[in-house]
Amino acid sequence: MSIYGRRCEPYAPLVFLAYVDESYTQSWFVMAALLVDGPAAVTLTEDLGRVATSAAKAYGLAPGVELHGHEIFHGGGAWDGVPVRARVGVFDDVVEAVAKQNVRLIVRAMDVVGQRARYRIPEPPHTVVLQHVLERVDDCVTGLGDYALVIADEVDGQAKHRADLSTYREVGTTGYRRRKLTRIVDTVHFAPSHASHLVQAVDVITFLYRRVFTHQETDERSRKAKIAMWNRLVPRVHHELCWFPSVDRGQQCSWGRDVR
């Protein structure tokens, strides 16, 4: 019974938080969504806070150092001067923190070279891949009977992305999976990555996904390490796909070369 004396519904739909970030080069565009419920969001935030605090103390970094995938991996920004093995350990700690939670991952990619070859005036890669991600987020929570609120890392063109979501909700998406997105609530909320450990988490995941499938390592230890980290996330992957707009003029043959 509820506090008002009425019988509660047997199941109250949840609102999942879908944290979104992108990673890209001139040739590839990758985006991921990390779907978490309330308890997982709280626990994962605490775990990542401990990872950041431990790293800051161990390597003399500023308190609240950002767990940014590219910077950790390459030793840039706040992570300049931190030994390689230490940075790999921090990256691995972030992956482990995500992998041990009951979360869902949606990861999408697009061959930008193939897109430019196929279309005379191609849509911005961010617009295309974000639509693909939002479609799959909506599909995921629809299957669960739940809803999602999207929180993305800050980017240029925020007003357009919000307007696009409104169009997807009212008119529908474009392409062969054309559909109305009915389970994503409100709008796309943008948050600075330094203020959210969960935005940082999806940043690390997105960077790792791009690195695993689009970059061929010259060092065998690096290849094995990145694949091992990705394999720990695989059980959490709800959907993963790369779109190749042009099979004959794109880069399909080079996708996932390190995992073959």
pLDDT value at residue 207: 99
CB 175 within 8 A of CB 115: no
CB 95 within 8 A of CB 204: yes
Q: Residue 83 is which amino acid?
A: P
196 vs 67: CA distance, rounded Å: 10
Low-confidence ranges of the chain (pLDDT < 50): 1-5, 7
Widest Cα–Cα separation across the chain? 66
pLDDT value at residue 11: 74
Q: Which alpha helices (H) appear in 31-83, and where do they start and end? A: 38-59, 69-74
Q: Does domain 17-259 bear CATH number 3.40.50?
A: no
pLDDT value at residue 9: 60
Closest CA to 195 of 133, 151, 137, 148: 151
CB 209 within 8 A of CB 23: yes
Closest CA to 117 of 209, 238, 27: 27
Q: Where are the domains of the chain?
A: 17-259
93 vs 178: CA distance, rounded Å: 38
pLDDT value at residue 1: 43
CB 242 within 8 A of CB 196: no
80 vs 83: CA distance, rounded Å: 9
| Global confidence as pTM | 0.95
